[in-house]
Amino acid sequence: MRLPSKRLIVSGAAAWLIAFALGGMDSRHASIASSDHSGPKTWLGALPFEGVAFAQSQGPNTQMSEVAFKNIQVLKGIPVDEFMGTMGLFSAALSVCCGDCHTGAGTSNPKWEDDPPRKRVARRMVSMVNAINKDNFGGRQVVTCWTCHRGSQSPAVTPGIDAIYSTPTFVPPDILPVAPPATSGTPPADQILDKYIQALGGAANLAKLTSYTAKGTSQLFGEAQADQAEIDAKAPNQLVTLVHQREGDLARSYDGRDAWVMLPLTVVGEYPLTKGAKEGAKLDAQMAFPGGLKQFFKTWRVTYPATLDGHDVYVVQGIGDEGMVATFYFDKKTGLLTRMIHYANSAVGRVPVQTDYSDYRPVAGVMMPYKYTYGWVSGREEYSLTEIQPNAAVAASKFARPIQRAK
Ligand code: HEC
Ligand code: HEC
């Protein structure tokens, strides 16, 4: 992504704090959504969750933004994880960081509830966007912060002549059009998914893999050093990823029922994922045992084939029950999955999570990606596995909340 100012290249927690400190001077130095090296990699971790109790008796997913926070005027009635997704989308849309709208973000004394001018503008923008969608698009969420801002604080007004006469950049829509099989030459979803299962080693081998533990490293976007990572998985769909970051542990877990995220740099313990985001976590866990992928979605659709990093791919989309949409890119030649993006709805648009897979190698007769990149609005982690133990014993407590922190 192009950015308007010179980048600072620093690393580690210091970068995160510097990003905030700079926010007041030149907010464009700090970005979570760009190729900026000084942006906060883990902003969610800075949340004021201390004392936020998730009402367990009503299920873990009932904490609403206006209850968890102090000064909520427009983003009411949404769960905490969705609220944080909206903050991620704000930051991404404007290429800014939390500290550009909030007082004291990144310090030991953040005042998230304060209303500095830019935050007030953002609040007005939420109302504006809701009104645009309501008045013109029957309430469909077609205009979002990104529609105008595209990574800039002042949306462009005039088309540049160079832009008119250069190759337009094609940005596919989230919900892809269905390709007519007769003319597009695309096989039905069933065939693409069957070929994937074959490519992985076949249904029989997949069924024999019932758990695994893996070790390796996770390189956080913008960081100079990689962190140790541990992954535990148990069929059919339990998964926990634990990364020992310098600032503390990052973890994502799905225990077959509930999903949790735990972040470092934090006052927070953990927060639960809800709705489409939880369904996304469930899908991530399913992908540890992809033999069950076909059954995961009731609705599959095939769109036009595409090219991804120079490889021809089939593009297939699954529509979940809780509003999650997931797009899968299967290499035409190998049949293997190279990319998966899942989207969860939020009050201000879809929140994307993208995983890119590579370096498939056989483990107990099943091809497993030794490298993958997990990108979300709060950072991008590049995993590189060094060992995978198939069918290792994994204690149920691994997936349970609270997530186990490193000693
Ligand atoms: C473009 C401006 C903008 C950015 C960037 C932004 N926020 Fe916000 N934030 C807001 C607005 C506006 C509200 C109030 C929403 C409302 O009134 O419903 C808010 C509210 C909050 C609250 C609730 C505070 C309270 O107690 O009432 C928290 C916590 C928060 N933001 C965290 C973050 C984090 C963490 C980031 C960085 C990812 C971030 N925000 C980025 C505009 C922003
Ligand atoms: C229809 C186009 C449009 C949409 C959609 C839109 N904005 Fe804006 N926004 C603008 C324009 C234009 C400006 C600059 C206004 C000016 O220069 O006075 C702006 C300015 C801002 C600013 C002030 C930036 C600064 O320089 O301090 C913030 C913050 C902001 N928008 C947040 C948002 C958020 C958050 C959303 C999504 C909820 C959003 N905007 C959606 C058009 C839009």
Mean pLDDT of the 324-332 span: 97
Say if residue 220's pLDDT is above 90: yes
As a whole number, mean pLDDT of residues 88-97 equals 95
Give the model confidence (pLDDT) of 246-281 as tens digits: 888 999 999 999 999 988 765 455 889 999 999 999
Q: What confidence tens digit (pLDDT) does each residue in 207-217 have?
A: 999 999 999 99
* Residue 336 CB less than 6 A away from ligand 2: no
CB 333 within 8 A of CB 209: no
Q: Nearest ligand to the C-alpha of residue 91?
A: 1
Nearest CA residue ID for atom 27, ligand 2:
118
Q: 137 pLDDT band (50/70/90 cuts)?
A: very high
Residues with Cβ < 8 Å from 219, sequence gap 6 or more?
225, 226, 227, 381, 382, 384
pLDDT, tens only, 365-389: 999 999 999 999 888 999 999 999 9
CA of 101 from ligand 1 middle (Å) equals 7
| Token pair in block for residue 137 | 């698009």
b/e code 357-396 from CB counts within 10 Å (16+ = b): beebeebeebbbbbebbbbbbbbbbbbebeebebeeebee
Nearest ligand, measured from the Cα of 80: 1
User: Can you read off the two tokens belonging to residue 387?
Assistant: 């060992």
Contact 353, 89 (CB under 8 A): no
The Å distance, Cα 126 to ligand 1 centre, comes to 12
Of 16-30, 48-62, 298-312, 338-352, minimum mean pLDDT range: 16-30
Q: Once rounded to an integer, what is the mean pLDDT over residues 125-147?
A: 97
Pocket mutation for ligand 2, best pick of 148, 351, 377 (most atoms within 8 Å of C-beta): 148
Q: Whose CA is nearest to atom 10 of ligand 1?
A: 119
CA distance 35 to 363: 34
Cα(349) to ligand 1 centroid in Å equals 16
Q: Which residues of 123-142 are buried (b: 16+ CB within 10 A; e: fewer)?
A: bebbeebbeebeeeeeeeee
* Ligand of minimum distance to the alpha carbon of 70: 1
